[in-house]
Amino acid sequence: MSAFESPIRRHNWDLFESRVERNTDKILDLIEFKGLRATFFILGWVAERCPALVRRICAGGHEIASHGYAHELVTSQAPQKFREDIRKTKAILEDLTGQHVCGYRAPSFSITNKSSWALSILCEEGYGYDTSIVPIIHDRYGMPEAPSVVHQLKTESGIIWEIPPSTVSICGMRVPIGGGGYFRIFPYWMFKALFQKAEGTNSPLVTYFHPWEIDPDQPRMKGSRLSRFRHYTNLHRTHERLTRLLDDFAFAPIKEIIIPVREIYARMAKRNEPKGMVRGERQENDTLSNVGAIL
């Protein structure tokens, strides 16, 4: 999505038909039919315009987390602007749901070595975990030296937990299998085999996708050949592949699978703060779903 962004386009969002609500409802219907729940990372801009959607997601027992306000890359923001962005979004989501927002996913995984200062600000603004750092080499994001498993990050303002999207090592190279374009471009049999390989690491699988990825009829935007390939390839197959994925693997919200994150919610409860945890029935070795990663 960020490959097509420009300030002019962002300022004109309200002029175009919104497809996010109908696409997200399709996702909700599917994962609820399968008896599953997920973590939804929601833009503040969307939450302001679709408050009933946010409440429906929350009422379904899903975790609500922050995706920032208007899908601006962290690398394009100054620290104070980033602070205002994540503070505003957190307040919008918590006011709508009455639950504490603990998690953050940066637009297009844009916490990199150049923007690692953002982690300290996340701590200061009350976030308990981040899932923005992908331990791969990529032309737009990634920290190839970062750990590929759940780990603590010490910042100037305290500790935050990092929940990286899943990757696997193939011939010494780390390959992303977290979802999104990878889920659409790789043949499903390959994606499933890589997931099964990752399961052997004893770390929860973290996968994601976007509501627009189940919308093959969406309007086409102008952009580079590479951006159009990444964005539009196999949109017509995503819903069917997602259905197969939900049959082949077990999934649950981040807050129920990652033990340190559960402990953060537990401490909030002891302090009588609002919390979003609903004790799950799944065990720690189940796979992890970050299904509604971007709205």
Give pLDDT, residue 13: 59
CB 210 within 8 A of CB 184: no
Q: How far is the CA of 241 from the CAs of 90, 189, 236, in angstroms? A: 32, 10, 10
Q: What's the average model confidence in pLDDT over 113-128? A: 95
User: What is the greatest pairwise CA distance in the chain?
Assistant: 52
Give the pLDDT of residue 14.
60
Say yes or no to pLDDT of 255 above 70. Answer: yes
DSSP 98: S
Nearest partner of 107 among 130, 139, 135, 125, judged by Cα: 130
Confidence of residue 10 (pLDDT cuts 50, 70, 90): low
What is the value of pTM for the model shown? 0.83
DSSP per residue over 130-191, as a string?
Answer: E-----S--SS---TTS-SS-EEEEETTEEEEE-PPPEEEETTEEEE-SBTHHHHHS-HHHH
Report the pLDDT value the prediction gives residue 23, as an integer from 0 to 100.
92
53: tokens are 């959607």
Summarize the confidence of residues 74-93 as an average pLDDT: 97
pLDDT at 294: 30
What DSSP character marks residue 123? H
Nearest partner of 57 among 15, 25, 18, 11, judged by Cα: 25
Which amino acid, residue 25?
A: D
Query: What's the mean per-residue pLDDT of the chain?
Result: 82
Q: Please state, in angstroms and rounded to a whole number, the distance separating the CA atoms of residues 69 and 104.
A: 11
**What per-residue confidence (pLDDT) applies to 96?**
97
Give residues with Cβ within 8 angstroms of 238, minimum separation 6: 183, 184, 209, 213, 214, 216
Instruction: Dump strand ranges (E) for the chain.
Output: 39-42, 63-66, 103-104, 129-130, 151-155, 158-162, 167-170, 173-176, 206-209, 288-292
Quick one: tokens of 182? 């990878």
The side-by-side arrangement of strands in the sheet containing 103-104 is: 151-155, 158-162, 129-130, 103-104, 63-66, 39-42, 288-292, 206-209
> What confidence score (pLDDT) does residue 88 get?
98
